[in-house]
Amino acid sequence: MASGSGNKHAGSRRGPRPKRGFQPVLLLALGITACVVAWGYLVYAAIDFGSTARSGETRAWWFLALASVGAVACLFVGLMLVARVLRRLGITRGPSPTPRDDEPRPIGGRRAAR
């Protein structure tokens, strides 16, 4: 008879260690700062282009539209980065799986499952 260590099912009962990688929270914070600064500059530029466009400059309307779209994009990216930082810091959690995703539907629907 073989000892316990020679069994083919023998081994460590401990699972693999979780990886403790570098979480780039500082890098995300710098990205948020850059997005907010760019957003502020684009809003200022849009206001300036708007006053120029009202005085009769037709090309300024295109620059106004471009600055407005850029400001919206910067604000959106900044808010997405804020959400990512909050999740990394553990303040918020990701969406929990719905019962429909991980369990098969009972026969007869929810009412029959009661």
Any domain includes 27: no
Any domain includes 1: no
pLDDT at 7 over 90: no
Helix boundaries (H) for 1-114: 25-54, 59-88, 99-102, 109-113
Summary mean pLDDT of the chain: 83
- Parent domain of 85: 32-92
Any domain includes 4: no
pLDDT at 114 over 70: no
Any domain includes 98: no
| Beta carbons of 70 and 42 less than 8 angstroms apart | yes
Any domain includes 85: yes
Any domain includes 99: no
The pLDDT value given to residue 108: 73
Any domain includes 25: no
- Cβ neighbours of 1 (radius 10 Å): 3
Mean of pLDDT values over 75-83: 96
The pLDDT value given to residue 77: 97
Under 8 Å CB-to-CB from 108, ≥6 apart: which residues? none
Q: Note if the pTM is more than 0.75.
A: no
> What is the tally of structural domains in the chain?
1
Distance CA 96, CA 91 (A): 15
Any domain includes 106: no
